[in-house]
Structure 1
Amino acid sequence: MKRTLPDSRITPGHPDHDRLSAIAAEITARAGGPDRLAADFPAMLRGCIDDVIMTAKTGRRAYEELEKTEKTYIGTRVEIELRALLNLPRSTLDTAILGQDVDIKNTMGSNWMIPTEAVDHPCILVAADEARALCYLGLIVARPEYLTAGQNKDAKKSVSAEGFAHILWLLCAHPYPPNFWRTVDPAAVLRIFEGRSGNARMAALFREVQGRPIGRDVVQAVAQQHDFMRRIRSDKGRGTRDILAREGIALLSGQYDAPLISALGLAPCTGSEFIAHTPMTPQARARVWPDGPLS
C-alpha cells in the first residue's frame, strides 16, 4: 500500500458520510466491536495469504513466489473469509449491508481494481502490505469521479489519487501478523531448510530462532510431515527436544510449560506456541533440567 495516504474527507457534510458511517458501524458491530475487529481482521488476512502460500506442502515462504492465478485467488479467499467473519450474506455484488449491494476488493499492492458493476456502489477495500506487515480496511462509494480515467482490458478502473481522500478507514496502516520468514535472517532460513530430515530441520529452527514464540503453522511448515507434532517431542533421545537439550537449549511448550516460561522471564506463549531458550545460569539450568542435562 502507498506509504503516504491523504487525510479522509469523509466527515459530516460529505455526501457519502452518512452512508459510509452507517455501513462502518454495522461492520464493527458484526465483528463484535472495534477491538475484536482490530484483532480478528488482521488474523483473518494473514490466514488467507498463508493458506495459499502453503509452505508445509510447497516449500514456498513468500507471496512473491506464488503463481499469478494464486495471487488472484487470495482476493477470492478474502471475500469468502470476510463474509464469514462478519456473517454477511451473498448478494448481487459480493455481499449486502443494510440493504445495499456492496463489493469487496482486495489488493496486495497499492490500489484496487473496481469493476463497472460496482460503480456508484459502496465497496469494502482490503489491503495487505507484506513488506511492512500492515493492513487496511476501508469503505468507499465508487463514484466515477473517484476513479481513474484509464481502465484495464476488463474495463476495471483504479481509485484515483483524489479518490483516496474519499475513503473512510476502519483500519489504516494497522499492524497484522508478519510473514514469519520475513522476520528471520535469510542465512538462518537456509540453514533451517537444508536439514534432510524433519528432526534436523526442526532442531535448526529452534536453534536459530530462540526467545520468541513460534506457532504450530511454522512447526508444520518446517517439519513437512503429516505427524509434524511428533518432531517436537522427546523420542528416546532422537527427538528435536532431545537433540536441543544436549546442546543446552530448552524447547518449551506454551501448553505444558507456561509456569517455567514465566519463571525464566520469556515471552508468553499461547497453548499452541513453542519457545526455545538457552539457560545461562546454574539456577536457570536447574529449573529446566532438575535431573541434570542430557548427555
Structure 2
Amino acid sequence: MKKQLPESVVGPGHRDHNLLTVLAEEIFRRAGGREALAEKFPLMLRDCIDAVIQTPKTGRRAYDELEKTEKTYIGTRVEIDLRTLLRLSKGKLDTVIAGQDVDIKHTMGDNWMIPTEAFDQPCILVAADETREKCYLGLFVARLENLTAGQNKDSKKSISAAGFPNILWLLRDHPYPPNFWRTVPHEAIDRIFAGSNGNARVMALFREVQGRPITRDVIEAVAQQKDFMRRLRADGGGGTRDQLKKEGISLLNGHFDSPLIAELGLPACGASEFISVRTSSALGSA
C-alpha cells in the first residue's frame, strides 16, 4: 500500500458521507465496536493469507512465493471470512450491509481492481502490506470520476489519484501481525521440521523460538497431528513440557502461567498461546 495516503475528504457535505457513515456504523456494530474490529480484522486477514501460504506443508514463507491462482484465491477467502466475521449475507454483489449491496475488494499491492458491476456501488476495500506489517479497511463508492480512465482486459478500473481521498478509512496503517515463519531463520525452520514425529517437531519449535508467544495454530501446523495439545502437557513425563524441562527450558501457557510470564518479564501471552524460556532452575508450573 502507498506509504503516504491522502487524508479522507469524506465528511459532512461529501456526496457519499451519509451512505458510507451508515455502512461504517453497521460494520462497527457487527464487529462488537471499533476496538473489537481493530483487534479481529488483522487476525482474520493474517489467517486468510497464511492458510494459502501453508508454510509447514509447502515450505513457502511469503506471499510472493504463491502461484497466480493462489493469490487470486486469497481475495475469495477474504470475502468469505469477512462476511463470516461480520455475520453478513451474500447479495447481488459480495454482501449486503444495512440493506445495501456492497462489493468486497482485496489487494496485496497499492490499489484495487474494481469490476464493472461495482461501478457506482459502495465497496469495502481491504489491503495487507506484508513488508510494512500494516493493514487497511476502508469504504468507497466506485464512482467513475474517482476511477482511472484506463482499464484492464476484463474492463476493471483502479482508483485514481484523485479518487483516493474519497475513501472513508475504518483502519488505516493499522498494525498487522507478520507471517510467523518470515520471522524465523531458514536454518531454524529446517531444524524444526527435521523432526520425525510431532513431539520432536514441537520440542524443536520451542527450542528454536524462545521468549515470544507462539499461537495454537502454529503449534498445530508443526505437530501435524490431531492430539497436538497433549504434547504440551506433562503426558506422564514424555510430553513436550517435561522433555524441555530436562533441557532447562520452561514452557509456559498464557492462561495458566500469566503471573510467572509477567514476573519473568516476558511478552504477554493470549490464553491459548505458549512461550518458552531457558531457565537456570525449575519454575513452579513449568
- Residue deviations 1:236-275 (CA, integer Å, cap 9, x gap): 5554333322221111223433343344333332231111
* Larger Cα-atom Rg: 1
Show the counterpart of 1:243: 243
8 Å CA contact retained: 2:213, 2:273: yes
- Given that 1:133 and 1:179 are in contact with CA atoms closer than 8 Å, whether structure 2 keeps it comes out as no
SS in 2 for 1:138: strand
The residue correspondences of 1:206-225 to structure 2 (distance < 5 A) are 206-225=206-225
TM-aligned CA distance change 1:60 to 1:225, over 3 Å:
farther
SS state at 2:283 partner: helix
Supply the distance in 2 between the matched residues of 1:279 and 1:289 (Cα, whole angstroms).
13
Q: Quick check: 1:287 aligned with 2:266? A: no
Superposed displacement of residue 11, structure 1: 2.3
Instruction: Give the whole-Å Cα distance in 2 for the aligned partners of 1:239 and 1:176.
Output: 33
Deviation at 1:235, TM superposition (A): 4.9
3-state SS, counterpart of residue 287 of structure 1: coil
Question: Is 2:143 aligned against 1:143?
Answer: yes
Gap change, CA 1:141 and 1:289, over 3 Å in 2: closer
CA RMSD between the two structures? 2.2
- Please give the per-residue CA displacement for 1:22-74, whole angstroms capped at 9, x wherever unaligned: 22122212222111111111122122222223334444333233222221111
Contact 1:250 1:288 in 2 (8 A): no
The question of whether the paired residues in 2 share the 8 Å contact of 1:59 and 1:221 is answered with no
**2:103 maps to which residue?**
103
Counterpart position of 1:25: 25
Distance 2:174 2:259 in 1: 32
| SS of residue matched to 1:89 | coil
Describe the SS at the equivalent of 1:199: helix
Contact 1:125 1:139 in 2 (8 A): yes
Please name the residue that 1:60 is paired with: 60
Identical pairs, percent: 67
Rounded Cα–Cα distance in structure 1 between residues aligned with 2:5 and 2:57: 37
SS of the residue 1:101 aligns to: strand
Structure 1 residues 8-19: aligned runs within 5 Å? 8-19=8-19
**Deviates most, 50-59 or 79-88:** 50-59
The equivalences for 1:197-276 within 5 A come to: 197-235=197-235, 238-276=238-276
CA distance in 2: counterparts of 1:178 and 1:101, whole angstroms: 32
Deviation at 1:171, TM superposition (A): 0.4
In structure 1, what is the equivalent of residue 193 of structure 2? 193
Structure 1 gap ranges (5+): 291-295
Deviation at 1:217, TM superposition (A): 0.9
Greater CA drift, 195-204 or 1-10: 195-204
Aligned residues: 286
* Aligned-partner residue type, residue 32 of structure 1: G
Matched-pair contact (CA < 8 Å) for 1:6–1:164 = yes
Q: Where in structure 2 are the equivalents of 1:104-183 lying within 5 Å? A: 104-183=104-183
1:71 is matched with: 71
For each residue in 1:101-125, what CA deviation from the matched residue of structure 2 results, as whole angstroms up to 9, or x when unmatched? 2111111111111000110111110
In structure 2, do the counterparts of structure 1 residues 15 and 289 end up closer, same or farther at CA, with 3 Å as the change threshold? closer
Residue equivalent to 2:278: 278
CA shift in 2, pair 1:76/1:193, >3 Å: same
Q: Following the alignment from structure 1 to structure 2, what is the Cα–Cα distance between the partners of residues 195 and 272?
A: 24
Question: For structure 1, which segment, 240-249 or 126-135, has the greater mean C-alpha deviation from structure 2 after superposition?
Answer: 240-249
SS at match of 2:178: coil
3-state SS of 2:70 partner: helix
Cα distance in structure 1, aligned partners of 2:196 and 2:135 = 36
